[in-house]
Amino acid sequence: MSKSRLNAVEREHPESRLVLEDGSALAGRSFGAAVSVSGEVVFTTGMVGYPEALTDPSYRGQILAFTYPSIGNYGVPDLKAAADRAVPDRPFESPRIQVSGLICATYSEEFSHHTAATSLAAWLSREGIPALTGIDTRALTKRIRARGALLGRIEIPGGPMPEFLDPNARNLVDEVSTKVVQRFGRGGLPLILVDCGRKDNQVRMLLERGAEVRVVPWDFDFRTAARDYAAVVLSNGPGDPRFASATIDSAKLLMRRRVPILGICLGHQILALAAGASTFKMKFGHRSHNQPCVESRDGRCYQTSQNHGFAVEGDSLPAGWEPWFVNANDGTNEGMRHARGPWRSVQFHPEAAPGPSGTEWILDEFLESLR
């Protein structure tokens, strides 16, 4: 968006604001689409990677606040060109923006990057996503940390105001999952990736490791499907894992058949529920690129990328299951393995996009166990 267009939007909507369900309000300036939305207000502490974050299906139904003070300075690559490919190129994790709205302290009108094709404001406007700048994101983050994730509403004068609606009260997985079976790669190790809201980097990394990936909907019927795959990966995704009942039932069936399973993020929670463990809603979740997770076998601590608001109750793991990773900050469960069966899962993202490298070996170890 040009500077003149941005100023025009600010003049047209001078009283835009973020209103929280506790009655508090923060005034800001609109630089995205001129529409009002509601959602769950959450924050991420990542310093880079806003194209990846905004296109991550795990943020479905959420208004995302960036704690890093300046957003937009390196623009946005050409999403259309990326979407024309079978698996969109980095830095996109899906073909569209998934967040309901964006909050930041300072929006950078000027952008510079050799891949940039447009501004963040223009991209948001084109996809109908509102955004506010000039918000005190430190005060907002402190409020969320003290009171927990809050429902909120971006209010832009001139249109209807939505009610406060909790996105976790609906089946978000069904909203973001593929509706058709998709195939990527040929002739490699055959895997099925159950799409509960997958990040495309999971497909990219599995292909790079010699796998042939078949992406299936979250409610794919494994009962009648041919057993022409070596293993199943349960992807990340948004919302309460208990809504993904069809995926939970599939995981139970696959374990009865002794099919190897790797769960990632929401997939970790789904596998835990299938095994008989329980999950809970976290106070404000983990959304950052520097969550420290300690591996149970050797005590090594890894910096991980995470985006989730629910977690597995570590003390609820049934017999035969053992904790694999534990969060060094709050002690929450970050992974589990079965002592005898070929099933394992992690709460964080080994395909980290954005985020640090260092846990890709989890994919390597899983695939090596199949060969």
Residues with catalytic annotation? 265, 349, 351
Q: Which two tokens stand for residue 45?
A: 């502490």
- CA–CA distance, 122 with 325 (Å, rounded to integer): 41
Q: What is the DSSP code (8-state) at residue 158?
A: T
The residues, ordered by sequence, that sit 6+ positions from 58 with a Cβ below 8 Å of its Cβ are: 98, 197, 199, 236, 237, 238, 265, 266, 307, 308
- CA–CA distance, 244 with 134 (Å, rounded to integer): 37
- What is the sign of the dihedral through the CA atoms of 318, 319, 321 and 323? positive
- CA–CA distance, 305 with 286 (Å, rounded to integer): 9
- CA–CA distance, 211 with 230 (Å, rounded to integer): 10
Q: What is the DSSP code (8-state) at residue 218?
A: T
Is 264 in a helix, a strand, or coil? strand
Amino acid residing at 160: P
Q: Which two tokens stand for residue 147?
A: 């009171």
- CA–CA distance, 263 with 345 (Å, rounded to integer): 4
- State how beta strands 261-264 and 62-66 pair: unpaired
Q: What is the DSSP code (8-state) at residue 68?
A: S
144 close to 43: Cβ distance less than 8 angstroms: yes
List phi, psi (to 5°) of 324: -105, -45
